[in-house]
Amino acid sequence: MVKSLCQKTNFYHLMKVWLIFLVMGMLSFSHAADIEAQLDRDSVPAGNGAVLTLRIAGRNVDRPQVPEIENFIIKPNGQSQQIQQINGAVSAITTFSYVVGSQTPGDYEIPGFEVTVNGEKVTSQPLKLKVLDAGAPQPPSRGQTNQEPGEEDKKEPEDESKRFGFLTVELADNERQHAFVGEIAPVRIRAWLPADSQAQLRSGIQPEGKGFTLHNVSNQPQQTREVKDGKQYLVVTWFGGISATKAGKYPASLSVNAKVAVRDTSAPKRQRRRTGSPFDDPFFDDVFDQMNVPMIEKDVTLKSDDQEIEVRPLPTEGRPENFSGAVGEFNFDGVQIPNSWKTGEPQQISARISGSGNFALLDAPQLSPPDRWKTYSGKEQFQAGDQTSFSGNKTFQFSAVPKKGGQQDVALSFSYFDPSAEKYKTLTTSPQKIEVAGNDVVDEEPVTAPAPKQPEKKPDMIAAQYLKLSGRGSLVPLVSKPLFSQLLGFSAILALSGGIFAWLRRRRDDPKRRSREALEKAMQETLGAARKCIAVRDAPGFFSAARLALQHRLGALWNQPPQAITLAEVHARDFRSFSRGPL
C-alpha cells in the first residue's frame, strides 16, 4: 500500500515537472522576453556593496546596458546561463550579477537595465538602495530575515579537511594488494573534487613520505564524474608507479597543490519574489539558488589518507645467479648473433627484450656457455610502450669475443622475478649454430709487477751542513726581473679569459633562453606528430598532439608546468564569479 502510494506520488510529481517544462517551451515561442532585477538587501553602509541580480528569460541575450549614476558604483560580478530543451522547445535563463554601492551616504535610485533579447529591447524595473553611514552595521540580506529553518539547517557540518577535495592511492592491479622490493607497482592516483567546484592545479603529484619512490606519473590526467559515499565528485585520475627498497608496510602518502573554489553552502538562500510567471514553481527555486550561491576560493594541498601498502621481500630460494633485480614480465623480442666468428676478434651482438616492469634493473642477457666467451659492456636503449613507461622494449648492443674455436651452439639467457606468479623465471633463446675459426685462446696468468724500491732515507740534519744544498742567492728584486712581468701579463690574460668564459656559461645556462628553446623544441615535436597524423588520417592522434601543443603553449603563457593544464584549469581562467568584498 505504501509502495503504491509512493509510486503514485512520484508519478504525479513527474507529470507536474513535465507540464511545467512543456508550458515553458510553449511560452518561449508565444511570449516576449521576461526580465527581472532584484537586490539582496535594501540598505548597505558606505563603502560596502549589495548584490544586484538581473534574470532574463529568453535566447540570444546581449550584455545589458549598465546605467550611470553619480557617486554610485555598479561593478559586474559574473554571468551564468541555463538552457533546456523539452520536446523541441528551447528555454534559456541568463543571469547577470553586479555589486552595487557608494562611498557617499544617501538614497539612490537605480534605473532599469536595458537589454536586447531576440532583437527586441526590454527594460527591467527600477530599484532603490539606501546607503548608510560608514559606521553603521551591515544589514542582513532578505534571505537571512525571511528564511525559515529547514531541513538543510539540520545537516551535519561538512568535514573541513575534505571540503575542497582529497586524494586516494590504490594499486592498479585489483587482484593483488601488495608489491615486492624493487618492483615498480602501477598505481591509480585520484583527486576527488566537489562536482560543482572550479579547480586549478598548481603542481604535480608529490610524495609526502620516504617509504616509497614515485615513478612515471602520467602527464595527461583523465577526468570523469563519479559518486562516492552518496556524493558526486569531479575525479582527476593519474597513473604512475611506486617502488620501495625495503620490505614492510608503508603509507602511500601523496599530495598535490591546487586552487579550488567551492560553493558556500552556509550562505542563506534568498527569497524569490513571486510574479505569477511559470518560474514561480518551487521546482525552480534550487536552480536559481545554485546560480546565486557565492563561491569560496582557497589554496589547498590535497593529500591522500595514510593507507598502507605492503611491500614483500624477494624470496631467496631459487634465485638464479644471473638475476640482476628486474621485476615484471619479460620476453625476447629479437636476437641477432653473427654466424661466423674468429677467436680473439670481437663482434657485436644485439638483443631486444619486451614486456612490462622495472626495465631500469634489467641487465644485458648472458651468452651460454659462459666459459667460451668474453663479453664487454655496450649500450642500452629503452623505448616506452605507454605514457607511464611501464611497458615497452629495451635493446642491448654489446661486444663478445669467442675463446674456443670450432662449430658450437650459442644462446642468450636472462632471469627476472614474476610478481604475479611470485617466482623467478629464466628465459633462454633457441640454440644457434655458429662457426668459430682460429685456435683456442689461452687465458694468460697475470704478471705480478715487482714492488717499487723505496728510496734511502737520509738522516735529519741542517741543510747548511751540506755545501751542495746551500746555493748563492741574487740581490735583484723580484719585480725587476723580466719573468715577473711575463707572469703578470699571463695572469691578466687568464683573468680576462675567465670573465669571458663565465659570461658565456651564464648565457648558456640562462633559464629563460633554455625555457624558450625547450618550448620551441616541444612545439616542433608535437606539430610534427600532428602533421604525421594528418598524413595517415589519424584523427585521435592528431587531437592528442594538438592538445599537448596547447598544454605546452598555455603552460609557458601562464608560467605553469604543462601537465598541470587541464580542462578544469581552462575553465577556471574564465571564472569571474568569486565574491569581491568591500568596494
Of 520 and 335, the one with more pLDDT: 335
Cell of 85: 530543451
514-521: long-range contacts (C-beta < 8 A, 24 or more apart)? 515/556, 519/552, 519/553, 519/556
Cβ 304 vs Cβ 253: under 8 Å? yes
How far apart CA 23 and CA 506 sit, in angstroms, is 72
Mean pLDDT calculated for residue range 438-453: 65
Report pLDDT for 322. 84
* Pairing mode, strands 340-342 and 432-437: parallel
127: number of Cβ within 10 Å:
18
Mean pLDDT calculated for residue range 168-193: 83
How far apart CA 189 and CA 165 sit, in angstroms, is 13
Identify the DSSP state of 277: S
Report pLDDT for 239. 86
How far apart CA 162 and CA 295 sit, in angstroms, is 16
Q: Which residue is listed with cell 594499486?
A: 171
Q: Which residue is listed with cell 732515507?
A: 457
Spacing of C-alpha 530 from chain mean position: 23
**Angle formed by the axes of helices 539-558 and 511-535, to 10°?**
160
- State which of 31-40, 73-82, 395-404, 483-492 shows the largest mean pLDDT: 395-404
Mean pLDDT calculated for residue range 268-286: 47
Three-class SS state of 463: helix
Residue 516's contacts (CB-CB under 8 Å, 6 or more residues apart) are none
Percent of the chain with pLDDT over 70: 73
Please measure the distance between the N-terminal and C-terminal CA atoms of the chain and give it in whole angstroms.
59
Report the predicted TM-score, pTM, of the whole model to 2 decimal places: 0.43
Strand partners, 242: 185, 214
Report pLDDT for 282. 45
Strand partners, 76: 98
Cell of 478: 723580484
Closest CA to 141 of 297, 280, 298, 294: 294
What does the mean pLDDT of the chain come to? 76
Q: Is residue 290 over pLDDT 60?
A: no
Mean pLDDT calculated for residue range 490-502: 88
- Residue 38 phi/psi, 5-degree rounding, is -150, 140
Q: Which has the minimum average pLDDT: 192-201, 281-290, 412-421?
A: 281-290
Q: Which has the minimum average pLDDT: 151-165, 236-250, 553-567?
A: 151-165
How far apart CA 249 and CA 14 sit, in angstroms, is 53
Report pLDDT for 30. 39
505: number of Cβ within 10 Å:
10
542-558 residue pLDDT tens:
888 888 888 877 877 77
Cβ 217 vs Cβ 205: under 8 Å? yes
How far apart CA 203 and CA 468 sit, in angstroms, is 74
Three-class SS state of 99: strand
Cell of 210: 620516504
Q: Please, which pLDDT band fits residue 266 given cuts at 50, 70 and 90?
A: low
Mean pLDDT calculated for residue range 92-98: 85
Three-class SS state of 301: strand
How far apart CA 113 and CA 123 sit, in angstroms, is 5
Strand partners, 358: none
Of 135 and 101, the one with more pLDDT: 101
Report pLDDT for 126. 92
- What stretches of 9-119 adopt beta strand conformation (E)? 34-39, 43-45, 49-57, 73-86, 89-101, 106-110, 114-117
Q: Which residue is listed with cell 530575515?
A: 145
Cβ 58 vs Cβ 92: under 8 Å? yes
Report pLDDT for 475. 62
Report pLDDT for 510. 76
How far apart CA 518 and CA 505 sit, in angstroms, is 18
Cell of 281: 514553481
Three-class SS state of 319: coil
118-172 residue pLDDT tens:
888 889 999 999 999 876 776 766 655 444 444 444 444 445 557 788 888 888 7
Element (H, E) at 457: none
Burial class (CB in 10 A: 0-12, 13-18, 19+), 4: exposed
Cβ 49 vs Cβ 99: under 8 Å? yes
Cβ 378 vs Cβ 400: under 8 Å? no
Report pLDDT for 348. 92
Q: Is residue 354 over pLDDT 90?
A: yes
Cβ 548 vs Cβ 526: under 8 Å? yes
Q: Please, which pLDDT band fits residue 388 given cuts at 50, 70 and 90?
A: low
Cβ 127 vs Cβ 26: under 8 Å? no
Cβ 288 vs Cβ 163: under 8 Å? no
Cell of 458: 737520509
Of 430 and 361, the one with more pLDDT: 430
Cβ 43 vs Cβ 101: under 8 Å? no
Q: Please, which pLDDT band fits residue 467 given cuts at 50, 70 and 90?
A: very low
Q: Is residue 402 over pLDDT 70?
A: yes
Q: How far is CA 218 from CA 129, 204, 241, in A?
A: 54, 10, 10
Cβ 191 vs Cβ 208: under 8 Å? no
Mean pLDDT calculated for residue range 381-386: 84
202-227 residue pLDDT tens:
788 887 777 778 887 887 788 888 87
Cell of 243: 617502488
Opening angle at CA 293, ends 291 and 295, nearest 5: 110
195-204 residue pLDDT tens:
777 788 778 8
Spacing of C-alpha 224 from chain mean position: 15
Cell of 341: 666468428
15-44 residue pLDDT tens:
544 444 444 444 444 344 688 888 988 888
Residue 265's contacts (CB-CB under 8 Å, 6 or more residues apart) are 152, 158, 293
Of 33 and 539, the one with more pLDDT: 539
